Chains A and B, each alone.
Chain A
Amino acid sequence: MSTNIQERKIIIEIKDLKKSYGDNHVLNGFNMTLHEGENLVIMGKSGSGKSVMIKCLIGLETADSGSIMVMGEQIGELSRTTLDEIRTEIGFLFQGSALYDSMTVRENLEFPLRRHTKKFGVLKDTTPLVMQALENVGLAHAVNLMPAELSGGMKRRIALARTLILQPKIILYDEPTTGLDPITAKEILILMKSIQEKYNTSSIIITHDVDCARVISNRMILLVEGINYAEGTFDELSTSTDPKVQAFFK
């Protein structure tokens, strides 16, 4: 399976990405490719720049240098409209779910639908799409609740539904299981897998959870000191003799 994924089309390619905040050199020449239908796991210590990298990828942060190609377009050179169009094809699951506190679950899901009008046009009735997205994550009954009334696991599911509602081709997960108990984390993982199979999406999963990486990855990259320190399948990396690599699997 993994060999033939490597032969598929490349949809994201990052070359020599650098980003600093003052004297804090977070990324020092990071390289990465994502193939169609692939689940790429990126592991790194807390504060190693995983979130910064993924935010550069979607244009929330601007890179200092390097190139980021997403579906043939160079992020960073795009007009706002083109960037918005690309963003409809990329779902982003934020680290802390990032649900809008002041809106109900339904309004949370409608927000991207009503604003990214290019994909589905201007919708009169968003109910079918909202309900479908909620059913995908098994929370159709929560449609009228406020985020404050949801548990951590439910919030993560709703956030997932919100990223899925535009039916993106690529999904970026920023620590999807962090802060959840092991059982809920497992449920989220199963959900991620089923979504992957149902919609045939490609994903980048940022995590420091070894179980998560084992279950979901086709390929892994270890981010150490701002570069892609090691790369390979879970089995290859977990049996590596390099102490820096081994530190991740203890």
Chain B
Amino acid sequence: MTDVLLEMRGITKRFPGVVALQDVSLEVRPGEIHAICGENGAGKSTLMKVLSGVYPSGSYDGEIRFDGKPVHFAGIRDSESAGIGIIHQELALVPYLSIAENIFLGNERRGRNGLIDWNRTNAEAGELLASVGLHESPVAPVIQLGVGKQQLVEIAKALSKDVRLLILDEPTAALNDVDSAHLLDLLRRLRDRGIACIMISHKLSEITAIADSTTVIRDGRTVETLDMRAGEVTQERIIRGMVGRDLESFYPERNSAPGEEVLRIEDWTVWHPVQHRKVVDGADLNVRAGEVVGIAGLMGAGRTELAMSVFGRSYGRNISGRVYMHGKQVRARTVAEAIDNGIAYATEDRKRYGLNLIADVRTNVSAAGLDKLARGGWVDGNEEIKVAEASRRDLNIKTRTVLDVVGTLSGGNQQKVVLSKWLFTDPDVLILDEPTRGIDVGAKFEIYTIINRLVAQGKAVIVISSELPELLGTCDRIYTLSAGRITGELPVAQATQEDLMALMTMEKELAG
């Protein structure tokens, strides 16, 4: 056995007009957890796509050696058969197929007659599920699982192919703390079985907790590889590598001086669109000018559903309750009416609900506020470019020009485009659903700064987040939501993570 499992040397990858990676090197030892850190757009995902054959050999320069032998993957199948499994930033399971079918998709377990051997398929899937600690029936359709469990299915799928190197691109971005902890435990167990792991993450606390070494990438170049086993490398140290300077604080300071009430929701009840159950049950909440209000809750508590149903009833059915803006009851039965009333909602799922990925940055930024750019139904294209350029500068969106297609931007920069779109509508209340998902530390700080700027202008902001420290660091007041009910309301000065957690799980305990 060699002492390096994977060696990537001098990798350079160009896209038309962009050099995404320049002379990048990476070494992974057998059975280690190797973290990759870097700002949004640094080239992390691209490097992993090069490694796994998504970008085939020949479309990049440089050398990859796996197990001491040079390899040239023409596609993802080649890298899989060599023992490299990748789990992309966006999960890729087929929702209506069963867990077992998903695990063996493209790699079906067949009997002697060439047909699928279902007994073997389901039995082997059951074993794999046990090994990743997922207690679900192999025949359950994937659509019934939450994101955390889907993630485990993806890992089981990779394990079914005898991987020796598992790549995870931001695996915990969409997970809550409990699921994340579970996943990290699993990675440790895999490491003990000798499976090496490359993990991309913007959650530095996870990296310091789990990684054996960390490679930092900045602007498409390797900056350094840190040995983490001694436990001396701090988050601050990694940040310095990522951004090239010290970051003195995670949250910008703000003098909060809440004013008049802007938005109030009373007795808000929402039914599931197809199932017979309430997703939000009699929620009351309000937010004042110059105030940041957080909504904490576990996955499935109904946070997104609450926000989307308020935002022009874009979720659920049989919605009842009242919405007040500036003390006056308003109609917000369609998204257009909600926007007209000064409500904006930036989604947590930018690819599905937030962006037109095949259109350019400019049209995405203006998509919700076209009326502001139009006279008599005609869009002022020059003004539109100006607006997009301004957003690019204000939010520091990394793109060559605003005419670039949004789908080619890195994940974090796409998130900033979503934000720009809603900032441009100039709302009175901005609802941000997981605004920093997949965003690097520097950009997080920028987004918090933007939130502060908005409230300083007298706007109201609602932040939905799975990260309690983020809520505690940015909000004035936090509501907790559990199984569709508001179970608590705490001023941030009196709140701790433990309090919030207790309130977030309250209803569940009552029910269970």
Do A and B bind?
A: no
> Which residues of B are at the interface with A, using a C-beta cutoff of 8 A?
none
